[in-house]
Structure 1
Amino acid sequence: MRRRSKILAALAAVALPMTVTGVSSGGPPTAVASTPGPASAVAADAFKAASQQYGVPESVLLAVSYAETRWDDHQGKASTSGGYGPMHLTAVVPAEAVDLSGGEKVAKGESLRTLYKASELTGLDPAALRNDTATNIAGGAALLAEYQRSLKLPVGASTSAADWYGAISSYAGAADKTSASAFADDVYAIMARGAARTTNTGQQIVMPALQVTPAKSQLARTALPAGTKVAGATECPTTITCEWLPAPYQVTAPGDYGNHDLANRPKTGKIDYIVIHDTEGGWQGTLNLVQDPTYVSWQYTMRSSDGHVWQHVKANDVAWHAGNWYVNMHSIGIEHEGFAAQGATWFTESLYRNSAKLVRYLAAKNDIPLDRAHIIGHDQVPGTIPSTVAGMHWDPGPYWDWEHYFDLLGAPIYGHNVFPVKAGSIVTIKPGFADNVQVVTNCNADGTCVPQGTNFVYLRQAPDDAAPLVKDLGLRPGSSASTTQVSDIGARAAAGSQYVVAERSGDWVAVWYLGAKGWFKSPAGTPDAFAKPGLVVKPKAGRTSVPVYGRAYPEQSAYPAGIPYQTVTPLQYTIGEGQAYPVGDASIETDYYRATTFDGQPPTDHVQVLGNDQYYQIWFGHRMAYVRAADVDLRPAV
């Protein structure tokens, strides 16, 4: 097994070019402050006032702001791309040039210092533009109006939103027409869908949907270059900027090579998963590492500031990224610039949107279901044998917004009170994100973590807020309970994950988790879990326990001469009599892709060994696992 070492945090994050490019979500006209209170009215009133003062349709202001920040203000702090406030006005430190591609350099211009341009246009103080929501929105409106005038297009709050395509493209701060138009297309997709959310400061804004046909011909009026194609055919949607930066496949020493394996997927193994990683380092350091033949590899890297993508390994080849060879064989890995312990500081809206575009494209191309059993975090990848469980990774961590991400994928995480939550039913975890601020510790040297939205609920050993967290024998081999440390996933039920209800007690729900019961609070009025139909596995009659596995390799008789048998060792967990676990996939391949030599040839290398011993992928604890079909009964949940 080639296991992936996480990129060292010591690699300094490299800054920051452009702004957004992304997938569609919500959008448009007059902002409505839902629920009473001055906090709710501030942003809504500010959008309306700025629209009238600077002659920009309110729908355009709202949709641009949503595409940039989802109306969040960063509370006076800069985003990773140097942007402030809900309009993401940028104030990047001047420099002669910034390296956007690991090679080509482009000049940093006005587009990266829009906060100061807004100050010139409005006469407003830069500090106010950074820190005050209403002032920031006014600055963004002034910029849009200036872009519209520079393209010799009419300005006015009553003008049609359709006639602002060129100005919106300019607002992106992009380096070329491809990136600029991708941003504008997202903004208009937002308008078409509408949106509603509570911002990071508790402001509740609703935008009704608005259907318009944008004047895309306006893009030709901008001075942006068309954009150049990079050598090497990338496997990306046309709606994102994507470059080919190949990971090396070469001999590194006698009998050794790096940093991925050639294959012919899906003929040599289906692609079942897309694994979401974070880099634990800046994008330039990450790109340097993936070009190191003695290191490991992944298919794509995505930059935080603008969602720019580099592809390194073709989808039909096997990258070394998951720490589990079976998962490597069947997955595509995407690295997202960021640090799991910092979360929202790095996981920008442009990152989420472009990542969702890429994943939707890859899922459609490879017939991968858009659900949390197949679009997985690195933290869901199981250890291969008992000794590797504790060393498995935990990224992208507790601050990755799975609910928003799946909304962008067009496959929202299930959350409707249609079926009763009762013993034997399958529940999907959906705790919300922004207002789900769980206690997390040890992000910083002083043991603290900046409070922010989290993607999970804690599971406890009893229906009591004071009860200890559940145990994970793989992470803590003794009898210790799990902890709140940021890297400790032992007691976390994450958004989109599924479990079988063991029992209910008032507001508390117990689910089967790692061979025991785990309790979480889910009041009927504000539930964190919702029941849905599906298949479960239970031990066959007469079995008091069933082993679980971290991979689904073939039985010994399936291996031809010259290919050693790969032992399938049970993990340290078991499924007890009377327990049940949801099925994530009942049709996985039982196989082993033999790739141990450089440029190897069949029949003993670069070949797929297929078995007859059937396995099911199941939801089991925070991570997924596999069980032999011969050990369990497959049946619908009650």
Structure 2
Amino acid sequence: MLLWVALTATAGALAVPGQAAGRQGDFAEAAREYGVPQSVLLGVSYLQSRWDAHAGEPSTAGGYGPMHLVDLTALPGQEREPGGDHAHGDARGDSARPVRHSPSDSSQPSSPPHTGDSQRETAGLPGAGSPLAGSPSVSGGALLKEAGRLTGLSSARLRSDPAANIRGGAALLASFQERPSSDPAQWYGAIIRYAGSRSFADEVLSVIRAGASRRTDDGSVVRLTAEPGLRSPAPLRRAASPAECPPALTCEWMPAAYKRTGKKDYGNHDRLDHSRQVDYIIVHDTEGTYRGISALVKNPKYVSWHYTIRSNDGHVAQHVLTKDIAWHAGNWDVNSRSIGIEHEGYLAKGGTWYTEAMYRASAKLVRHLANKHDIPLDRAHILGHDNVPGTTPDTLPDMHDDPGPYWDWAHYFDLLGEPLGSAGRDTSYDKAALPNDPSHDPSNGPSHDQDPSFEHTWWSTPIGETLWDAPFKISFGPAWHEPPSSEATPRREEEFARPDRDAPYQWSREDAQLGGGGSVLIRPSYDDHRPRFTGCTSAKPAKACPPHGASVVWLHTEPRHKATLIDDIGKLVGKPSTYSVYDHSARASTGQRYAVAERRGDWTAIWYLGQKAWFHNPRSRPTAVPARGPLVTPIKPTVKVYGRAYPEKSAYRGTGVAFQRHVPLPYTIRQGQSYTVGHTLTGTYQSATSFKPAKHVMVKGDLRYHQIQLGHRVMFVRAEDVRIIR
């Protein structure tokens, strides 16, 4: 084995004519040097790092570089960054039964990490008894050190030099392979030993079959050529488990605590003896590592969520059954109608280490849950925690901000099978073909210091495809259109049919007028769009974050880069908006649909929190695409908005449940403004104040609400206060 590695290393070290440049060349050279199929090397790296070097910063698991070489000595130095932690606010979000204990009372785990991978994942495979095989806590901890031994390279170089890191990963894979082979399928066992997960190895083969291509953080393009004929291993036999996951995922049952914590108190979720309507899936990040999840979720004085997904391999753990209510969103109305999924990672570091393995596992899970619960796959129903509304004005400042601007929503929806369209996406990746225009050079134009809001979108081309909104539910009266009177009662719930996605969309004459009209879907090109952020380093909060792709656009009071940002009077009370990575007061996110208020040249204004908000949207490199769907406009001079869709007072009569007041949020919308509608529903309130599920009561009313995209968060307006205009 070692002789084979040495011989291939000698042969591979020779210069090769036509060697690819950039990171693609690094992968090709390392593959030749150590006799690893290039597709295997690329597939493993893509799932763990998306082929990025991450500026030498470690992942949540202590992994470095494109090959995620783990050094566990890096973990103790990682700190919990402020801003997204569960230890503030009331995750249950029910004023009728606020949490009587502080989530911060939970103790941090002192036991070794709970890896979650069962013995059956590696049992019987070549080399499964190796100290480097099995769970990531074992194999991962030795990867960087072992790579140094195999290559003779220092740990410092393996961490910081991408080419060296790729060589180290190739050497490790070769050392785990018992027999040389050019067939990627024959490397299945070596991949398992590398990552400690059979499900990860399955996904690597899936990536190789489909192929992939993206521009990496060094500016070069890396491609993995598809091999559609690659065979799959035999399906994994899974032990019986309460976990609710699709067959393609390795999913363990790690139950949350359901215990009494006092005479009239209990935690950390609510169990139901009946089914429930699920309207939302909420995407969170943990703001901590996977190592602590088991201890946290088993603490009845902490909060809860339904699933956690591990970063390095996409392993899924379920904690609460989807029929039950977890305490995760900070809004009881949303909690009672949602499923919460935590993703290992940190908001401020998300652009660095939200891994492809985690994205793909999450997308499989969400697609499965959406099918099971009939949840539309759009950004009105697949929400970030940062899109969940506060319940009252007092709770708004403490609402959470995860998963943040670095979560790649466009890629996520591609994986969900519901693409969000294309804006400014460079499909050729051919620098030589770019026009001789200084605007395409990121080193030209305004710098971050000169213009902190300048949004880099180089290597961009005009929109190349059309976009239609994903289907979503909304209520209507007897006809397809809104009843002529606001007093008419909607009587049925239908689903908009998606127009022909292949039909070209043209801006209407009304759309082209100065007054705007219609709606747009926010859609910057993630890899090329690099707005400035601060706050990624807690010790220096004013320091600019490293440039990285992002899924948001900044919103200004005027159509110019140096204009002040729009203020959110509910989030930063009495303070102006900032460029902090934790502050979404003046941001619109990929996939969110907004009503157009006005257009001026390369700028588009949307209705946002009761005001016009401008974002840069040039035709040459657009950051939004035309969209269709219903809008609402007030029929009163001003209309109140709410964070909960609770029923009217009369609905509580005879239920034994106290009336839950309708507390408006500090925003209003006015006549002449319009807002997009993502969902229409009848008010309900799930009363759950007893440890015994049989004593829970569901209050159902007749009051109807429209869910609107008011700002960065969704909110609710009463249907009787507005009318549908499109």
Q: With the length of structure 1 as denominator, give the TM-score of the two structures.
A: 0.82
Tell me, yes or no, if the aligned pair for 1:593 and 1:607 is still in contact at 8 Å.
Answer: yes
Alignment of 1:499-538 (within 5 A): 499-538=594-633
- Within a 5 Å distance, the mapping from 1:446-465 to structure 2 comes to 446-447=540-541, 448-451=543-546, 452-465=548-561
**Contact in 2 for aligned 1:42/1:134 (Cα 8 Å):** no
Report which stretch shifted further, 53-62 or 312-321: 53-62
1:560 counterpart residue number: 653
Deviations 1:246-285 (A, max 9, x none): 22223222222222112246x3x31111111222333344
The secondary structure found in structure 2 opposite 1:412 is coil
Structure 1 residues 280-291: aligned runs within 5 Å: 280-291=287-298
Structure 2 counterpart of 1:25:
none
**Code of the aligned partner of 1:171:** Y
CA RMSD of aligned residues (A): 2.8
The 8 Å contact of residues 162 and 212 in structure 1, kept in 2 or not, is answered as: no
TM-score in terms of structure 2 length: 0.73
Deviation at 1:460, TM superposition (A): 0.5
* Secondary structure class of the residue paired with 2:665: coil
After superposition, where does 1:205-604 map in structure 2 within 5 Å?
205-214=222-231, 216=233, 229=239, 233-264=242-273, 267=275, 269-415=276-422, 416=465, 418-420=505-507, 422=512, 423-443=516-536, 444-447=538-541, 448-451=543-546, 452-478=548-574, 480-540=575-635, 543-561=636-654, 562-586=656-680, 588-601=681-694
- State the distance in 2 between where 1:103 and 1:309 align: 10
Corresponding residue number in structure 1 for 2:209: 192
User: Is 1:631 the counterpart of 2:721 in the alignment?
Assistant: yes
1:145 maps to which residue? 174
Q: Secondary structure at the match of 1:277?
A: strand
| Deviation, structure 1 residue 488 | 1.9
What SS does structure 2 have at the residue aligned with 1:611?
strand
Counterpart amino acid of residue 246 in structure 1: P
Q: Is the 8 A contact 1:501 1:509 kept in 2?
A: yes
CA distance in 1, matches of 2:148, 2:578: 48
Amino acid at match of 2:719: A
In structure 1, what is the equivalent of residue 159 of structure 2? 130
Matched, 1:72 2:52: yes
Q: In the alignment, residue 678 of structure 2 is paired with which amino acid?
A: G
User: Equivalent residue for 1:21?
Assistant: none
Unaligned stretches of 5+ residues in structure 1: 1-37, 220-225
The alpha-carbon distance between structure 1 residues 476 and 123, as it changes in their structure 2 partners (threshold 3 A), is: closer
Q: Is the 8 A contact 1:301 1:334 kept in 2?
A: yes
Distance, in Å, in 2 between the alignment partners of 1:110 and 1:593 is 46
Mapped partners of 2:605, 2:189: distance in 1: 54
* Structure 1 range deviating more: 101-110 or 247-256: 101-110
Specify whether residues 300 and 575 from structure 1 end up closer, same or farther in structure 2 by C-alpha distance, changes over 3 A only: same
- Structure 2 regions of 5+ residues with no counterpart? 1-18, 76-110, 120-133, 423-464, 467-504
Whether contact under 8 Å (2:533, 2:580) holds in the other structure is yes
Kindly indicate whether residue 702 of structure 2 is the aligned counterpart of residue 612 of structure 1: yes
Q: Which amino acid aligns with 1:70?
A: R
Distance between the aligned counterparts of 2:291 and 2:113, measured in 1?
Answer: 9
1:600/1:462 Cα in 2 relative to 1: closer, same or farther (>3 Å)? same
Instruction: After TM superposition, list the pairs within 5 Å mapping 1:150-161 onto structure 2.
Output: 150=178, 152=179, 154-155=180-181, 159-161=182-184
Q: Distance in 2 between matches of 1:212 and 1:104?
A: 29
Output one character per residue of 1:454-503: Cα deviation in whole Å (capped at 9) or x when no partner: 3211100111111111121212444x532223332111111111101111
Shift of 1:580: 0.9
Contact 2:329/2:335 (<8 A) preserved: yes
- 1:307-352 per-residue CA deviation (whole Å, 9 max, x = no partner) reads 3333221111111111111101100112223332332355233332
Q: Distance in 2 between matches of 1:264 and 1:372?
A: 30
In 2, Cα distance between equivalents of 1:431 and 1:468: 21
SS in 1 for 2:529: coil
The answer to whether the 8 A contact 1:270-1:589 is kept is: no
Query: Percent of pairs identical after alignment?
Result: 49
Could you tell me which amino acid in structure 1 is paired with residue 67 of structure 2?
A: M
Could you tell me how far 1:120 is from its partner in structure 2? 4.1
Candidates 184, 206, 218, aligned match of 1:201: 218
Contact 1:80/1:345 (<8 A) preserved: no
Change (3 A) 1:134 1:389: closer
Per-residue displacement from partner, 1:529-572 (whole Å, max 9, x unpaired)? 001111111123xx222221111111122223122222222222
Corresponding residue pairs, total: 568
Pairwise CA distance, 1:585:
1.3
In 2 relative to 1, CA 442–52 (structure 1 residues): closer, same or farther, beyond 3 Å?
A: closer
